[in-house]
Structure 1
Amino acid sequence: MLHRLSIRDIVLIDKLNVDFKNGLCVLTGETGAGKSILLDSLGLALGARADSALVRHGCEKGSVSAEFDLSTDHPFWQILDEQDIERDDSLVLRRVVNADGRSRAYINDQPVSVALLKQAGAALVEIHGQFDTQGLLNPVTHRGLLDAFGNLGDQAKQTRTAFRSWKQVERERMEAEAALEKARADEEYLRHMVEELTQLAPQEGEEEELAAQRQRLMHGEKLIDGMNQAHGELTSHKGVEVNLRNALRHLERIAEKAEGRLDSVIETLDKASEYTSLGIQELERASNEVDLDPRHLEAVEERLFALRAAARKHDVQVTELPNLKDRFEAQLNAVEAGDTALQELRQKETALRTAFIEIAEDLGQKRRATAQKLDKAVNDELTPLKLGGATFATTIQKLDAADWNETGCDKIAFEISTNPGAPLGPIAKVASGGELSRFMLALKVVLAQADPIPTLVFDEVDAGIGGATAAAVGERLGQLAQDVQVLVVTHSPQVGARGNHHLRVSKAENNGQVVSTIRPLSDEERTEEIARMISGEQITIEARAAADTLLNAV
């Protein structure tokens, strides 16, 4: 419920804090006192259009904060959860308007878009006036309200789940059909590619090995020439190995006389001779292994170029060719198995569609039964509200299959006729200003427990009526206030007397400026206010007596 409204520098209000309680709160005051400013301020906090004219003259900006107390399980909190806005003990919607008309919006002091503020406001407060009404006038809300009135929430949820399951498989079937159609169109190409890659038979790491072979074959003559020169240096004349052996023999003959000084020299030269011999053997073997056959080079290049040409053709790296062949084969297998998989999807889709239709049609039948109860309940409320010639009806029309959706197979709308024999039509288009507010009141009384909006505001719902009709309006507002918080701006003493709480809006001059104020009334002050509403500016004894009668009758 709305707990507090704080207004700063809005039109005729300089600084004002208004506390609200649960039940029926009536706001009264003379014409022009500022009741509309209060509603405009509340609308601003709820995301209504900002206007520079709202900022009090001479001020740079104005602001409005609306603080709410909500139960922890109220559906509104889901809006904050979806926006990652932290919950707090209370909820505060705030709007700041600059003198140039620009505005900023906040929820729990976190900056938000005006669109989000408006969404939040619509979930918290519903304002009904003669010319500005929302909520029930929007046909989008009618289906949910009808389901809530008939306790059909679980079946509506089942219908939504069944529709989504059906549509998910339908999308899968359509995607499978498109993929299979494309695969069939590419089947001949795929078979050709698989055959081509099978013949090519690319191997893992083959490109790198072929490139290395090609490099060796291209430089074979240079390798042979260099190795031959090295061999000549090692073996020309007597050769390094022979010279080392001769040197060893000379040293070995005198080794005993050297008293061990030559042992390490002899050992080192002996190893050098051995390594030299091994080196010459390895050099000869490497020389013999050099391939100088140009046909071998041609074969290697032909293979390497074939692999690279295939990679370019398919726009992949050579290393990916083995896997590419596997992918092509998998696509071919999918073509062959596609008919079976597609048939299974079609059967599943048909079954899910049938299940949705059964659930939706059962829900539709229960909605029609619920609609009859709702229509009777609302029509019973119309006569006491001086709308006896009017008719309320819930219209339920079958949708074409193409228009079925997760809410079912029906189009649901609340419609009225204001005169006997006149055709039904949308409430907002058929009802006049005064009738509209009373229609909303009748609907709200019946749908109070089905609608999650915790605070309702009625602006002069009693306009143009009096006597028994005004008393009936007051009675129904009081009845409605047993389920939700109700704020009503009224000029009717019968409605004013019904309030659980009474606020009076007044206007006075303060330091040369006109300022609007709002304050709660005591029991004695309330009697005077009801008397003023009965008799006008001059309050008579009879008016006070009538006021007492009205207040005591509640």
Structure 2
Amino acid sequence: MLTALSIRDVVLIDRLDLAFDQGLTVFTGETGAGKSILLDALGLALGARADAGLIRAEAKQSVVAASFAVPAAHPAQTLLTEQGIEPGEEILLRRIVARDGKSRALINDQPVGAGLLRRVADLLIEIQGQHAQIGLADPGVQLAMLDEYGVEPGLRESVVSAHTAWRVAEAALGVAETALAEARRDEDFLRHAVDELSGLAPRADEEDALAASRQRLQGAERRAEAIDSALAELAPRERRSAGPATILRGAARVLARIAETEADGTVALALEALERAEEALAEAETLLSRASAEAEADPRGLEAIEERLFSLRAMARKHAVAVSELPELLDQFAARLATLDAGTADLARCAATAKMARAAYIAAAGALMVARNRAAERLAKAVARELPPLKLDRARFVVERADLPETQWGARGADQVRFLIATNPGDQPGAIDKVASGGELSRLLLALNVVLAGESPVGTLIFDEVDSGIGGATAAAVGERLARIAAGTQVLVVTHSPQVAARAGTHFQVAKLAGRSRAQTLVGRLDVAARREEIARMLAGETITDAARDAALSLMAES
């Protein structure tokens, strides 16, 4: 409920702070005192369009704040949590409007957009009147009201569950259809690619292993070539080429002829050196021959590795993937082929599931339609009973339920609801927000609120001149119904009717004080004595008589 309203520098209001109680609160005052200014100011806090014309002449900006006591489970608290705003025991809506027309909106002192401010406000308070935004004119609100009034919650929950299951089944069917269509479109390519890749049989990390083997074999081949080349130098295969051993033996034979005749022994030493060199050469040849025999050169193996690497890399380039991704690619292509092979059966299963889910939704929505038909009849009769005392005895209220096309079926059902009214006999019922008379509309909304009292999450209702153009017994009926609504919902009323004012638990008087330089609107809470005097003024006019005071006291006592 609305607990407090703070207004700064709005038109004729300089500074105003009001505290509100539960139950019925009325605002009274002479015409032109400024009651509409209060609603305009409150509208700013609720997200109405910013208007620099509302700023008091001497001020740079207007500031309006409205505070609401809201339970933790209230939809407004849920919305704030979803928007990242920390909820609390109260929700504070604040609006600041500058002279240039720019405005700022805040919720719990956190800056927000005007759109979010309006969304939160719509869950907290509703203003109903001849020129106010009428929430009950929204077909979605009307449907929710009808359901809350007379439809078992389990029926609505069944429709929500059935709709969710149907949409999930439809989504699965769509996925199956898309997958099968894609697989069929690419079938020839997939079969060729799977055959080609299966024949190649790529393995994980195969490229790295082949590269390492190639490097090892290339090294072995170079080693074998070097050893064979060295052996060829030591022992030429061509007889015409004299190897080192042959040359050494020839030199030794020549020296041997003169070694015995040499006096100083130098030649003999040289001959010994040649013999050692020949032995070393023979040892080198033996070692190299052994190394050549042990060499791992495998030209055919190296060629096979090169061919394998070429094939793998060519396949990877063909499919624009890395060699290491070829095994996964084969699995993907094979899976798509498997989808194609099993797709028809899977599609049939999904289609059957979707068909069953649709049938279940239709059954649940049908049961909800039946319940709504019954609730619509009861609601229309209940509202009709409230109309005659409100001087709408010739009006006809209709709750129209209509089936929706399948494209509009949803979690709320397969039908829609509209509240219609015909104000004169013979007239065709029309949408309640299209009726000609603002007073009739206000009283119709009052009748609806009486019947639907307690069904809306909105904790505060404001009626702006709901008693316009009526008096006597009709005004008394309006007051009695406002009091009934106020038993469970906070109700604020701007009224000129003493019968309505007498029903109030809290009474504020709005007055205009004309100063030397400018006028000012003041709002004061009235005690019992002041209430009697104000109601007497409303009954008698400018000159308040004792008879008027007695009548006022009588009205207050009856209430």
Do they fold alike, i.e. is TM over 0.5?
yes
Question: Secondary structure of the equivalent of 1:76?
Answer: helix
**Partner residue in 1 for 2:96:** 96
Q: How many residue pairs align between the two structures?
A: 516
- Paired residue type of 1:29: G
What secondary structure is seen at the aligned counterpart in 1 of 2:132? coil
2:72–2:89: 8 Å Cα contact kept in structure 1? no
Aligned to 2:496: 491
Query: In the alignment, does 2:530 pair up with 1:529?
Result: no
| Greater gyration radius | 2
CA distance in structure 2 between the partners assigned to 1:481 and 1:198 by the alignment: 80
State the identity as a percent. Answer: 48
Q: 1:41 offset after TM fit, Å?
A: 1.1
What is the distance in 1 between the residues matched to 2:151 and 2:172?
A: 34
Deviation at 1:231, TM superposition (A): 8.1
Relative to 1, partners in 2 of residues 1:511 and 1:107: Cα closer, same or farther, differing over 3 Å? Answer: farther
The residue type equivalent to 2:446 in the other structure is: L
SS at match of 2:75: coil
Matches within 5 A, 1:73-88: 73-88=73-88
- 1:142 to partner: Cα distance: 0.9
Select which of 308, 319, 326 maps to 2:331: 326
Cα distance in 2 between the residues matched to 1:286 and 1:90: 95
1:241-390 equivalence runs, <5 A = 284-285=291-292, 288-291=295-298, 293=299, 299-390=304-395
Secondary structure at the counterpart of residue 426 of structure 2: coil
List per-residue Cα deviations over 1:72-121 (Å, max 9, x = no partner): 33332211221222222222111111111111111111221111110010
Instruction: After TM superposition, give the deviation of residue 310 of structure 1 in Å.
Output: 0.8
Deviation at 1:284, TM superposition (A): 2.2
- Segments of structure 2 that go 5 or more residues without pairing to the other structure are 236-242, 246-279
Match in the other structure for 1:269: none
SS in 1 for 2:398: strand
Counterpart-to-counterpart distance in 2, 1:123 and 1:517? 29
2:168 corresponding residue in structure 1: 168
Contact residue 26 and residue 503 of structure 1 kept, 8 A: yes
RMSD: 2.8
**Structure 2: how far apart are the matches of 1:437 and 1:219?**
100
* One-letter amino acid of the structure 2 residue matched with residue 394 of structure 1: V
* Alignment deviations for residues 260-311 of structure 1 (CA, whole Å, 9 cap, x no partner): xxxxxxxxxxxxx9xx99x9679925983335x5x76655443322211111
Q: Structure 1 residues 283, 132: closer, same or farther in 2, change over 3 A? A: farther
Q: Give the match for residue 201 of structure 2.
A: 201
* Aligned equivalents of 1:376, 1:484: Cα separation in 2: 23
TM-score, normalised via structure 1 length: 0.87
Distance, in Å, in 1 between the alignment partners of 2:310 and 2:193 is 18
Alpha-carbon spacing, 1:440–1:285, altered in 2? closer, same or farther (3 Å): farther
Deviation at 1:342, TM superposition (A): 1.8
Q: 1:505 aligns with which of 493, 507, 510?
A: 510
CA distance in 1, matches of 2:313, 2:437: 81
| SS of structure 1 residue aligned to 2:419 | strand
CA contact (8 A) 1:67 1:93 kept: yes
Distance 2:223 2:521 in 1: 106
C-alpha distance in 2, partners of 1:232/1:510? Answer: 128
TM-superposed deviation, 1:204? 3.1
In 2, Cα distance between equivalents of 1:449 and 1:157: 21
- Is 2:452 the partner of 1:447? yes
What is the alpha-carbon distance in structure 1 between the residues aligned to residue 287 and residue 105 of structure 2? 91
Q: Which amino acid aligns with 1:152?
A: E
- Counterpart in the other structure of 1:55: 55
Contact residue 224 and residue 287 of structure 1 kept, 8 A: no
Q: Specify the alignment match of 2:396 in structure 1.
A: 391
Q: Does the 8 Å CA contact 2:227/2:288 hold for their aligned counterparts?
A: no
Letter in 2 for 1:54: L
Q: 1:187 offset after TM fit, Å?
A: 1.9
Mapping of residues 220-231 of structure 1, within 5 Å: none
Could you list the per-position Cα deviations for residues 362-420 of structure 1 after superposition, in whole angstroms to 9, with x for gaps in the alignment? 11111111111100010111111111111111100112223211111111111111111
What is the distance in 1 between the residues matched to 2:366 and 2:219?
A: 84
Q: Shift in Å at residue 62 of structure 1?
A: 1.5
